[in-house]
């Protein structure tokens, strides 16, 4: 193999390795299964509730450090949020099943919760100084890949 061919082969191998991690990430480019919510700080009514089925075939613990539950590839809900100056943004889930949350924030960071909500086995994430932008939200089912009825609550005032 010529030196130029070796350089191209090495470059192709490097690209393949570099993109392998991207393929394993949740795909926030996919359309959300339960729609998009557009809100501006101070929204009413508060909370805004979205009925979903939690769960999916992907174990979040294998994709994100400190995350739990089984989630889908596509987000369940997309929130486009325009932040204000003084209110937090609270994402919480209410379900009779043990549910989890995985959120990709506007800053590109991943946020997870398992049992931080008010009702024991339900999650809640509170962004004290939320950023404006796109929040992609996955609602997981803890311990199994089964789908369970759940309600995502988006609030600036309450944890549900």
- The closest of 131, 139, 114 to 26, measured between CA atoms, is 139
Question: Tokens 């486009």 appear where?
Answer: 80
Q: pLDDT tens for residues 15-44?
A: 333 323 333 457 878 999 999 999 999 999
Give the Cα separation of 111 and 135 in Å (integer). Answer: 10
Average model confidence (pLDDT) across the chain: 85
What pLDDT, in 10s, does the model give residues 51-81? 999 999 999 999 988 899 999 999 999 999 9
Type and span of the H or E element at 37: strand 36-40
Tokens standing for residue 8: 């191209």
* H or E segment and range at residue 20: helix 3-24
Residue with tokens 């090495």: 10
Class of 29-155 in CATH: mainly beta
Contact 87/41 with Cβ under 8 angstroms? Answer: yes
């Amino acid at each position: 193999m010529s030196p130029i061919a070796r350089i191209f082969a090495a470059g192709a191998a490097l690209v393949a390795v570099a993109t392998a991690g991207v393929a394993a990430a949740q795909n926030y480019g996919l359309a959300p299964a339960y729609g998009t919510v557009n809100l501006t700080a101070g929204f009413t009514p508060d909370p805004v509730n979205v009925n979903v089925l939690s769960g999916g075939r992907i174990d979040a613990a294998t994709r994100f450090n400190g995350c739990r539950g089984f989630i889908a590839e596509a987000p369940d809900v997309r929130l486009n949020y325009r932040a204000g100056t003084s209110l937090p943004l609270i994402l919480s889930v209410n379900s009779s099943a043990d549910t989890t949350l995985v959120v990709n924030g506007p800053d590109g960071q991943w946020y997870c919760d398992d049992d931080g909500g008010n009702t024991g086995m339900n999650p809640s994430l509170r962004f004290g100084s939320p950023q404006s932008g796109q929040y992609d939200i996955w609602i997981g089912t803890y311990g199994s890949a089964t789908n369970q009825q759940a309600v995502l609550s988006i609030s600036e005032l309450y944890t549900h």
